[in-house]
Amino acid sequence: MTLTAPPSGRMHPADVARVASVGLRTRRMRAALSALGIAIGVAAMVAVLGLSASSQAGLLAEIDKLGTNLLRVAPGQTLSGEDAKLPLEAPAMIDRIGPVEDVQSTGNTQASAYRNPHIPKANTNAISVNATSLGLPGAVRASVAQGRFLNKATAQQPVAVLGATAAKRLGISKIHSGARIWVGGQWFYVVGILDSVRLTPEVNSAVLVGWPAAEKYLDFDGHPSTVYVRADTDQVTEVQKVLAATANPEKAEEVKVSQPSAALEARAATQSALNGLFLGLGAVALLVGGIGVANTMVISVLERRSEIGLRRALGATKGNILVQFLSEAVLLAALGGVAGVALGSLATAVYAQIKGWETVVPVLAWGGGLVAAIAIGALAGLLPALRAARLQPTEALRIA
């Protein structure tokens, strides 16, 4: 078998890799520090994009778990700009819609809740006191963290259940016998605390009392302020179109209908402004790393003039020298890029596990990071490589 040599002036890829690694292997500390700059920039970019994608995946998974078929009906405003009211019979009328599976409601009593009667009236802590129907937890996918929810008996009495945020603001962390709060000028006993609710955050900051108890003890007028509707998943859009007219046939324009999951989905699809900031910082770090690579290559050319002169004297062409130093810069940047992708992916995985998200590292993150690192390395090494290629053998050997 006859072996054919490569055309004059050309090098095998294996030879290119070997000579490109010479400078890195003989100057390991300098190479490591230069690669570190590239690694930090790439890691920042990968981590930002990875955490954003993981957060989005986690939020969408939570939305799927909570269901996208929850609709919320609330009063809007009258033509004169005043606050409108939903009719007393609105929940019952909505319940007649065929695809509707569950209807629950709350009504704002306008009462205030305090830890005790000695708290100044101005310190309401943004806690609302709402009358509630008994099936509310099932409709909004809320679970009871402590105690129990209201039932037919306790709904008649001065008894309350606290949302997660309301409990914190009232300083109640545990349910015990005799626990009570000051509501509307009288004591209400606390029998339960709800877990935090994602789709309906207004429930978190509310004190919930039974509908009959609100009318009896808090002068509640009985008008619902929010109606929560669970519809057949395949017919949510159709139900949404008729809810306003069904809730208030005479003044449908005074009714607001929303889909809580739509707001969360929009937020999941929206890139945070902070993402742009962190990506910018990552790009700056990557640029600084590129300057480090350029500095390393310039010094390398100055220190290796004798090597360049000797190789030129032995027949290496300007192209060989150019390829050698350019490949060295690209290899240095690629090593930093690989390390940066690994660090960024690790940071994403650790944080995602802590938050309970699925770990997602988009191709744009790691692929873009590697491409950016290699491009930076090529640009940073181009000028030193050209400078090395222009050295004449006699000049390089004389200076050395």
What is residue 73's three-state secondary structure?
strand
pLDDT over threshold 70, residue 189: yes
- Give the list of residues 6+ apart from residue 365 with CB closer than 8 angstroms, or none: 45, 46, 49, 50, 53, 344
The whole-number pLDDT of residue 275 equals 62
Show the tokens assigned to 44. 């920042």
60 versus 118: which is more confidently predicted?
Answer: 118
Distance CA 303, CA 137 (A): 74
Show the tokens assigned to 241. 């179109």
37 versus 132: which is more confidently predicted?
Answer: 132
The count of residues in the chain is: 400
Percent of the chain with pLDDT over 90: 36
Nearest to 383 by CA among 320, 336, 329, 305: 329
Please tell me the least confidently modeled range out of 12-26, 121-135, 378-392.
12-26
Mean pLDDT of the 184-191 span: 95
How many other C-beta atoms are found inside a 10 Å radius of the C-beta of residue 372?
A: 22
pLDDT over threshold 80, residue 4: no
Phi, psi of 339 (to 5 degrees): -65, -40
DSSP bridge pairs for 70: 230
The overall average pLDDT reported for the chain is 83
Whether residue 84 contacts residue 76, with contact meaning beta carbons closer than 8 Å, is answered with: yes
How many other C-beta atoms are found inside a 10 Å radius of the C-beta of residue 175?
A: 18
Residues 194-240: pLDDT tens digits? 999 988 889 999 999 999 999 999 999 999 999 999 988 888 889 98
Please tell me the least confidently modeled range out of 155-159, 230-234, 281-285.
281-285
DSSP label at residue 103: E
Assign 3 a pLDDT band (cuts: 50, 70, 90).
Answer: very low
350 Cα distance to chain centroid: 15
Residues 75-125: pLDDT tens digits? 988 887 788 899 999 999 999 998 999 999 999 999 999 999 988 888 888
Distance CA 45, CA 290 (A): 15
Residues 312-323: pLDDT tens digits? 676 777 777 777
Mean pLDDT of the 41-55 span: 82
Distance CA 310, CA 327 (A): 19
Show the tokens assigned to 157. 């009495």
Predicted TM-score (pTM) above 0.85:
no
**Dihedral over Cα of 300, 301, 302, 306: its sign:** positive
pLDDT over threshold 90, residue 377: no
Assign 15 a pLDDT band (cuts: 50, 70, 90).
Answer: low
Distance CA 109, CA 327 (A): 74
Q: How far lies 103's CA from each of 132, 224, 237, in Å? A: 12, 12, 16
The whole-number pLDDT of residue 268 equals 54
pLDDT over threshold 70, residue 147: yes
pLDDT over threshold 60, residue 396: no
Whether residue 232 contacts residue 101, with contact meaning beta carbons closer than 8 Å, is answered with: yes
The whole-number pLDDT of residue 346 equals 92
DSSP label at residue 119: S
Distance CA 108, CA 225 (A): 6
The whole-number pLDDT of residue 5 equals 47
How many other C-beta atoms are found inside a 10 Å radius of the C-beta of residue 263?
A: 11
Exposure on the CB side of residue 55, measured as CA atoms within 13 A: 15
DSSP label at residue 41: H
